[in-house]
Every structure is written in structure tokens, then in C-alpha cells.
Structure 1
């Protein structure tokens, strides 16, 4: 087994590294640790916009990254340690999460933390979740990865993942907003994220005494950054990959009441219907036609709408007022 500690706090880099390492080491077992700066990691089959508080995320420069595995959305920051096991597919039961969570539980139990695995893939302490785990199988290998909420900013976590479920109708995987907690209050005073890294690594070494530390090479770093730029930083992957959904938003502005309905296919607006009590000098259907084929992305819509005379459709309005109807 190779033990890898990521040198980066960039979520785009770290999520890209999981895919890169699958190809780089097709047969070796790996144990990867990484810590991300503030970011939301959404499951592969989720509708990203339905999982996040977009305004809050953008205002606070929180990265949004889609991972390869399924499951729900999670919040990462510097108080959250992430671990990832890579093994050959078939060596362990794909549906069994207990095998790779056992070292985590043993480490915490040895520190006096009454942590346990409950349900299929969650680790809890006193009935509150501190770790969610997910899996994927690809190229003959299996990855199981999870989080450890150590000293995460719970207020930010709550706000960043506070999406409005009334805006979206779809069949995408929904996150289970369980009660969560940090481990800090359960651990010996003075424990740090680096301490947890060391303790967890020691637990892995008890199971795999022949494991060796691996430092990512310059070639590895270039490969990961290439994948990061071409896939994990892109709107197409993080937002456009979302399953098809219907979006509805009603807003009240000085020009009147406006209700916007969108059918969105892989992030692209397929159908538009706009209702309201506003006064228009031009048929609203003309604006609806202009929006078909655009990304359901505020920057793209802002650019498109800035090229149109919105007063012809809504009377006295501002661009930002209308943009509010697409959030």
C-alpha cells in the first residue's frame, strides 16, 4: 500500500487527484489524505444547484466540485480531514462500508471517542454524524472515501448547504441533512488535524506494515493539474453534468410579479415560460426564445440579458432584478 498526503488545499486539485491516481496506479492499494479549503463536494448524480445556497457560496468564494462517486453533498474546510482508500475491485464487498471505516473507528475509540458506524455509510458519535462515506468502482479498482468533521465551521456548513427545495423538481440523488457535529470536543485537548493524520496513518500501518509513503512527483502534479483544469474546474462537469430538472422561481420587484419556469437538460435551458403581472411592450415569447439554449448559469444569463432591452418585456427593471428570478 502507498500512503499519500496531498500537498494542496485546493478542492479542484484533490478531487482530480482521486481520478488521476486510478490511472497512475492501476493495481496498487492506496491510502490518500487531503484537507480542502472551503468547498462543497457534490455527488456524481446530484443536481448541484438544488444542493447549494448559490448566493452564499458565491459571496464567500466557496468552490463547488462534483466528485466521481454517488451519495450526497458535503461541506469541506480546513477543519475537515478527508481520507480515501483505493483497492482492487473484488477484494472487498462493494456494499460493505465497515471494512475501511474500521481503522477510523479504532483510532477514535482508542482516544476515548464513542464513535460507531450506523446505517450504511455514516459514522456517528452521540447520535450525531461526523463522517459520511461514499464509494465508486472504475477501471478494475474501488475507491471508498470519507470525511472527518474535526473543527469545521458549522455555521458556514449550514448556510452553504441551505438550498431551497421548492425551486427544483427532479429525480436526482438528494442529500440527507442529518444532524452533524465536530469531533474537537470529544478529543484530547490540543489535538490538531495533523495529529489525526498521523494517528490514522499509524492505524493503517498496523494493518499494512509494509506500506510506504509516496510523494507526488512533478509528473504527477502536472497530470493532476491538467485533469483539474480540463474537467474538475469546468462548469460542464460541476453544473452541466446535473440530471435534467425543472426550475421555478417567483420574485416581486417594483415592475411587478414575475414567475419563471425552466426545463433544464444537462445544464442547458430547453424550455422557458415566464408569467406575471408586469407590462410588456413586446411579446414575452421573444425573450423566452432568446433564453432557450443558454446555460442555467448566472454569469452566462447575465451576459445574454445585458444584450437585450429588458424594459420592452418588463417595463422599468434592472438587469440584477431579473437575474434574481433565475437563482
Structure 2
């Protein structure tokens, strides 16, 4: 087994590294640890916009990254440790999450934390979740990865994942918002993610005495960064890959009531309908036509709408007011 401690706290890099390792280490067992700066990691089959508080995420410069595995959306920051096991497919029951969560439970139980695996893939303490886990199978290998909330900023987590469930109608997998907790409430108050990382590594070595530490080579770093740039940093992957959805939002501004309806396919607006009690000197259909074929991305829509005389369609309004209807 190769033990890898990621040198980066960039979520784009660390999520890309999992795919890179999958392709370039086809037979090796791997145990990867990483900590991300504030970021939201979205399940592969989720509608990103329906999982995040976009305004808050943009305001706080929180990265949004889609991972390869299914499951729900999670928040990462420096108070959260992430672990990732890579093994040959077929060595273990794919639906059994207990094998690779057991080292976490063992070390926590040894430190007096009454942690347990509950349900299919969650680790809980006193009925509250501190670790969510997900899996994927590809190229003859399996990855099981999970989070460990040690001392994460719960207020930021709550705000970043606070969404309006009425805005989206789709068949995408929705996250189950469980009650979550930090392990720092059960461990010595000065415990750090680095200490937790060391404990978990020691536990893995205890069960895998031939395990060897591995550091990314220059070739590895170049490969991961290439994958990061071409895929994991892109709007197409993180937002455009989302399942098809219908978006609806109503806003009340000084010019009147406005209700926006969008049919979005792979992140691209296919149909638009705007209703309201505003007064327009030009048919609203002319504006609707401008939005067809555009990305449902605020930066892009801001560019489109800023090129139009919005008062002709809505009366006395600002660009910022109209953009609210598309968020």
C-alpha cells in the first residue's frame, strides 16, 4: 500500500488527484489523505446549483468541485480531514462501507470517542454525523473516500449549503441534510487535523505493515495539474454536467413582480419564460430569445443582460435587480 499525504489544500487539485491515481496506479493499493481550503464537493449525479447557496459561496470565494463518486454534497475546510482508499475492484463487497471506515472508528474509540457506523455510509457520534462516505468503481479499481469533521466552521457549512428547495425541479439526487457535529467536542481541545492525520496513518500502518510513504513526483504533479485545469476547474464539469432541471424564481422589486422560468439541459438554457406585473415598452419575448442557448451562469447572464436596455423590458430596474431572478 502507498501512503500519500497531499501537498496541496486546493480542492481542484485534490479531487483531480483521485482520478489521476486511478488511471496511473492501476494495481496498487493507495491510502490518500488531504485537507482542503474552504470548498464544496458535489456528488457526481447532483444538480450543483440546487445544492449550494451560490451568492454566499461566491461572496466567500468558496471553491465548488464535482467529484467522480455519487452521494451527497459536503463542505470542506481546514478543520476537516479527508481520506481516500484505492483498491482493486472485486477484493471487497462494493456496498460494504464498514471495511474502510473501521480504521477511523478504531482510532476514535481508542481516544474515547463513541463513534459508530450507522446506516449505509455515515459515521456518527451521539446520533450526529461527523463523516460521510462515498464510493466509485472504474478502470478495475474501487475508491472509497470520506470526510472527518474535526473542527470545521459549522456556521459557514450551514450557510454554504443553505438552498431554496422551491427553485429547482429535477430528478437529481438530493443531499440528505443530517445533523452534523465536530469531533473536537469529544477530543482534547488542542487536537489538530495534522494530529488526526498522524493517528489515522499510524492505524493504517498497524494493519498494513508493508505500507510505504509516497510523494508525488514532478510528473505526477504535472499530470494532476493538467487534469485539474482541463476538467476540475471548469464550469462544464462543476455546473454544466448537472442533470437537466427546471428553474423557477420569483422576486419583488420596485418595478414590480418578476417570475423567471428556465428549462436547463446540461447547464444550457433551452427555454425561458418571464412573467410579472412590470410595464414594458418592448415585448419580453425579445429578451427571452436572447437567453436561449446561454449557460445558466450568473457571470455569463450578466454579460448578456448588461448589453440590453433593461428598462425597455421591465421599466425602471437595475441589472443587479434582474440578475437576482436568475440565481
Superposed pair shares fold, TM > 0.5:
yes
The aligned residue for residue 107 of structure 1 is 107
Q: CA deviation at 1:309?
A: 1.1
Name the Cα RMSD after superposition: 0.6
How far apart are residue 311 of structure 1 and its match? 1.1
- Residues 151 and 182, structure 1, Cα contact 8 Å, conserved in 2: yes
Distance 1:98 1:57 in 2: 33
Secondary structure, counterpart of 1:91 in structure 2: coil
1:241-252 paired onto structure 2 within 5 Å: 241-252=241-252
Distance 1:119 1:179 in 2: 14
Structure 2 counterpart of 1:68:
68
Aligned to 2:174: 174
Matches within 5 A, 1:1-327: 1-327=1-327
Q: Secondary structure at the match of 2:305?
A: helix
How much has 1:190 moved relative to structure 2?
Answer: 2.4
Alpha-carbon distance in 2 for matches of 1:184, 1:316: 52
Shift of 1:189: 4.0
Provide the C-alpha distance between the structure 1 equivalents of 2:146 and 2:154, rounded to a whole number of angstroms.
18
Deviation at 1:315, TM superposition (A): 1.0
The DSSP-based 3-state class of the residue aligned with 1:227 is: helix
After superposing on structure 2, the runs of 4+ consecutive aligned residues of structure 1 that deviate more than 6 Å are none
After TM superposition, the structure 1 stretch with the greater mean CA deviation from structure 2, 304-313 or 38-47, is 304-313
Separation of aligned partners in 2, 1:191 and 1:62: 25
Q: What SS class does the counterpart of residue 165 from structure 1 fall into? A: coil
Distance in 2 (CA, whole Å) between partners of 1:33 and 1:64 is 19
Counterpart CA distance in 2 for 1:317 and 1:137 is 51
Give the number of equivalent residue pairs: 327
Distance 1:97 1:168 in 2: 31
Cα distance in structure 1, aligned partners of 2:74 and 2:7: 21
- C-alpha distance in structure 2 between counterparts of 1:255 and 1:191, whole Å: 54
- Quote the Cα distance in structure 2 between the aligned partners of 1:199 and 1:290: 56
Shift of 1:188: 2.8
Structure 1 residue 308 displacement after superposition: 1.0
Give CA deviations for 1:141-177 in whole Å, capped at 9, x if unaligned.
0000000000000000000000110000000010010
Q: Please, which runs of 5 or more residues in structure 1 have no aligned partner?
A: none
**Separation of aligned partners in 2, 1:194 and 1:296:** 39
How far has the Cα of 1:12 moved from its partner?
A: 0.3
SS in 2 for 1:250: strand
Write out per-residue CA displacement over residues 171-193 of structure 1, whole angstroms, 9 at most, x where no aligned residue.
00100100000000111342211
Q: Cα deviations across residues 79-128 of structure 1 (Å, max 9, x unaligned)? A: 00000000000000000000000001001000010000000000000000
Distance in 2, matches of 1:80 and 1:257, equals 42
- Name the SS for the 1:166 alignment partner: coil
1:111–1:188 CA contact under 8 A, matched in 2: no
Q: Deviations over 1:218-252 (max 9, x none)?
A: 11111100000100000000000000000000011
Instruction: Answer yes or no: is the 8 Å Cα contact 1:80–1:148 preserved in 2.
Output: yes
| Preserved contact between residue 259 and residue 274 of structure 1 (Cα < 8 Å) | yes
TM-score by length of structure 1 reads: 0.99
In structure 1, distance between residues paired with 2:254 and 2:115: 54
